Structure 1
């Protein structure tokens, strides 16, 4: 009986010293060390002289490292992006459907106005009473700015059948804020004084208006309308010059339709 012969292990004869390979290895190592030293030196120079750029490069390096580590998340992120896109598309479709649906008219309640109607100052919006008579005008002067107050007076003139109504107040108006033609063709010039209760219209205010209302503006009827009162000297001067004075109570009566308009008044 013969025993199987075990194959003898071949000894590797190729592991021998190669001077050329060793020299090339150390040359590459030296080049790598030089490059590394240059990078370190440049980085130190940048940190000292340009710290902002150093911070930017550091952030970019960190971002690159994080991007390299998060490659395995790309597929899951892509799936999340697709889901988000589908959700946005569905939301856009629902919004389009809701916009295309007919909108019920808003209830006619105080303080609410349809947006498609012509803008009218809230303080001068006409209101028809229950009996169907001519509309009256509700005026809340405390809630108006000076321009709004002038527009409200102009709306009162329009309501009372005046024509060619214009708001001319502003810089260089020479005292005239509203001009119009009365129903019988007379030219009315109105100066608006939106004063508080404790601030009365004085004689100087009326005198300045009196110097321009007839000579400059060619008024047939000149009136000063205020939310306050007139001082006694102002009333006296207005009476002498033929200027009509409409105080806060008269203005309220005019707004409600229970008092005369300035051109229908017989006194000051």
Structure 2
């Protein structure tokens, strides 16, 4: 009985032969590289001999380059970590939103709440809600505020005319009963009282020039006794700080209402000086 001879599997072996062309090209490239590096080193050495300070410049550039590469590598790492964190946060937010979503069939209809309708605003309720810091206003803003009070209390054709050449009139208005109101505004400090000369200048134009049915001088301070006496003689309504605040918050009469009640004698305010 003959035993069959087992053949060895054929294995393809890589031949490592000597390639003259590749070797020559390698040495040529190496020689060129060494020449270029040598020339660069020679040029650098010559430059350094002429300018030694360039040594520090080159060292600084090299260090800056190394630090820049290192920082860029760190920033790239930070950016990767930040992107991963944002992705994780977005995934968690999506999961939380999905978990908190309630199916439409499980939502109940909102229970109506009966809220009483607000009461209609009246002139008195609006007046009580007003709080004005007159000391913080400019003279022009003070005139606008007085005009606003006139409009609030039902006057029509309200106009702010104060300025150069106003001849003593700052606010013009027509009362609900048709009387023409001419108002002069004095935005004074607390210690600056309105004197009789102010009243005389206003009294010389309010009736003859502006044809006022009701002449009013309103101030943020007080009146002197001669000023009040002149106002009573001419029929000018004087509103000091106390009367102005009462008109503002609705606890006092309108100036044209006071003039109607007191007739031609005018209205002497409670805060008038002696």
The verdict on a shared fold, with TM-score over 0.5 as the criterion, is yes
Equivalent residue, structure 2, for 1:194: 187
Write out aligned runs for 1:131-142 (5 A): 136=128, 138-142=130-134
Equivalent residue, structure 2, for 1:7: none
Shift of 1:201: 0.8
Normalising by structure 2, report the TM-score. Answer: 0.54
| Alignment: residue pair count | 203
Q: Determine if contact 2:214/2:236 at 8 Å carries over to the other structure.
A: yes
Q: Determine if contact 2:127/2:248 at 8 Å carries over to the other structure.
A: no
- After superposition, what is the alpha-carbon deviation per residue over 1:7-29, rounded to whole angstroms, capped at 9, x for unaligned? xxxxxxxxxxxxxx99x968963
The alignment's C-alpha RMSD in Å is 4.5
Alignment partner of 1:78 is 2:71: no
- After superposition, what is the alpha-carbon deviation per residue over 1:47-73, rounded to whole angstroms, capped at 9, x for unaligned? 9xxxxxx9xx99987653322124543
Alignment partner of 1:155 is 2:148: yes
Equivalent residue, structure 2, for 1:33: 42
138-147 or 156-165, which moves further after superposition?
138-147
Q: Output the CA distance in 1 between the equivalents of 2:65 and 2:202.
A: 78
3-state secondary structure, aligned to 2:145: helix
Q: Determine if contact 1:141/1:227 at 8 Å carries over to the other structure.
A: no
Equivalent residue, structure 1, for 2:110: none
Shift of 1:261: 1.6
Equivalent residue, structure 2, for 1:238: 231
- Structure 1: tracts of 5 or more residues without a match: 1-20, 48-53, 95-124, 129-133
Q: Output the CA distance in 2 between the equivalents of 1:143 and 1:244.
A: 22
Q: Determine if contact 1:207/1:237 at 8 Å carries over to the other structure.
A: yes
Q: Output the CA distance in 2 between the equivalents of 1:198 and 1:137.
A: 28
3-state secondary structure, aligned to 1:195: coil
Larger Rg: 2
Q: Flag the structure with more relative contact order, 1 or 2, with Cα contacts below 8 A and sequence separation at least 6.
A: 2
Write out aligned runs for 1:199-214 (5 A): 199-214=192-207
3-state secondary structure, aligned to 1:78: helix
Shift of 1:182: 0.8
